[in-house]
Amino acid sequence: MNISELHAKAARLERELQETRDLLTQANHDVEAITADLARTRAYAFNAATISVEDVVEDGANSLSRYGFCVIDNVIPTSQVDSICKEVLAAQSAIAKNMQGVRDLLGSEGRNGWELLKNQTATNKVELRPVRRAGYPPKPPNDIVWMPQYAQHLANPVVTAVARRVLDDHLRIAQLHPRIIATDKPDGTLGGFGAVEHRGRADTREWHTDWPHDLSAYGRDNPDENVGCIRQPFPDITMCLVMIWYLTDVDENSGGTWVVPGSHKDKRNPRGPSDGITVTAPIPGDMQVTAQAGSVYIQDSRSWHASAMHNPSGRERVAVVNRWCPWWLSVDDYAPGGIHNTVCRPLAHSEYLALPADLQLLMRHLCPDEQDTLQQPVLDRAGAAALRTRWGFRQLKENPDGLAQANAHVRVPLGPSKN
């Protein structure tokens, strides 16, 4: 087949591809019905207690690619969920008290407060830890220090295998904090996420994507607080996995996470200044995740999602949120004054050493006393590449005459011209 025939074939295939896309668009027109079926069947969920690790990893990765999220059921044993739930509630109280102490100190001391924090002279009032970056103020300790029971499960082998499949072999947990969604109170205060005045309506949302795809970047236009974000349009690569570890059952009436399936592939963003999306309104095809306590919801950080802004269930929704990143993603490089944000809160060396060994690998970057070297699978890849390179140069000596055609089988396709 000559070049002209190949071009003609390519043009024909492009027409057929466009026709197929048009048919898919028509088939997907009733997106709400499709999503309702997904919510009913829970085709995004996989049971870690009944299927093999290999199957969970494969199915979970496929769900993340197709829908932008998955759920791994039964990660934390049922017998341990209640005690960990109580631990997280107690941790939330301790964390809030510590953060209030930091705010009080800074409020009363002004600029001098930063020096007090830096010099650790106020540790009788607040808990602080030095950070890895020189010249940055200390931060409150990583929230994991208040949750030792939960820490025993955070590096669950099924969960970490899914993360490694989607991200990379060397992982970092860059953020971790409790996320409690209140329920209705006896005094009439409505339950839900966010400001009380915005709660109580089942048709209210707070759509956003997560760091590093959070366009407001925590700090908005304040250079001391802004942690940075990827600019639109986002490249089609998963850069972060957000995990929500549910410690209470969740459904449509008890704080299930809202999500728009497939939104991780959409070039728009709910907070995009030019994208015409109202962050507080429902989106056709949105749905709430359902899961039993002990399950883990995992989503691509590009997915459009929202915490439930009404929770009429009569009980708090208790969960722990963490963000997992590959080793190559820069974390905590900006926001030089971001002492209050939850990104990369540090660990003292004793706290780091108290973590389970498999969790230490994921949180080593948070301890200034530990050298955060690349993990072995990344080094193995580099070693294999070096061997291949040396083999190639060896051919210069052993088979110089064969090099002219050694890569004759390699063809790099060019994209279509835009002219």
| pLDDT digits (tens), the chain, 419 positions | 777 788 788 888 888 887 877 666 665 567 888 899 999 999 999 999 999 999 999 999 999 999 999 999 999 999 999 999 999 999 999 999 999 988 888 777 766 666 766 665 656 678 889 898 888 888 999 999 999 999 999 999 999 999 999 999 999 999 999 999 999 888 888 888 888 888 878 889 999 999 999 999 888 888 888 888 999 999 999 999 999 999 999 999 999 999 999 999 999 999 999 999 999 999 999 999 999 999 999 999 999 999 998 888 999 999 999 999 999 998 887 888 888 888 999 999 999 999 999 999 999 999 999 998 999 999 999 999 999 999 999 999 999 999 999 999 999 988 776 65
Nearest Cα neighbor of 174 from 219, 144, 203 is: 144
Q: Which of 361, 360, 324, 341 is nearest to 136 (CA)?
A: 341
Residue 333: per-residue pLDDT: 78
Region at 233 (left for phi over 0; alpha for psi -120 to 50; beta for the rest):
beta
Structure tokens at 42: 């829970």
The second-level CATH assignment, the architecture, of 46-372 is Sandwich (2.60)
Structure confidence at residue 397 (pLDDT): 93
Contacts of residue 253, Cβ cutoff 8 Å, sequence gap at least 6:
311, 312, 313
| Backbone dihedral angles phi then psi of residue 324, each to the nearest 5 degrees | -105, 130
Dihedral sign, Cα of residue 49, residue 50, residue 55, residue 56: negative
Contact between residue 141 and residue 128 where contact means Cβ atoms under 8 Å apart:
yes
Q: What is the reported pLDDT for 217?
A: 86
Residue 372 and residue 259 in contact, taking contact as beta carbons nearer than 8 Å: no
CB crowding 251-279: b at 16 or more within 10 Å, else e: eeebbbbbbbbbbbebeebbbeeeeeeee
The pLDDT score that the predictor gives to residue 112 is 65
Whether the Cβ atoms of residue 326 and residue 168 lie closer than 8 Å to each other: yes
Domain boundaries, the chain: 46-372
* pLDDT score recorded for residue 111: 61
Count of residues in the chain: 419
Predicted local distance difference test score (pLDDT) of residue 256:
94
What's this model's pTM, rounded to 2 decimal places?
0.89
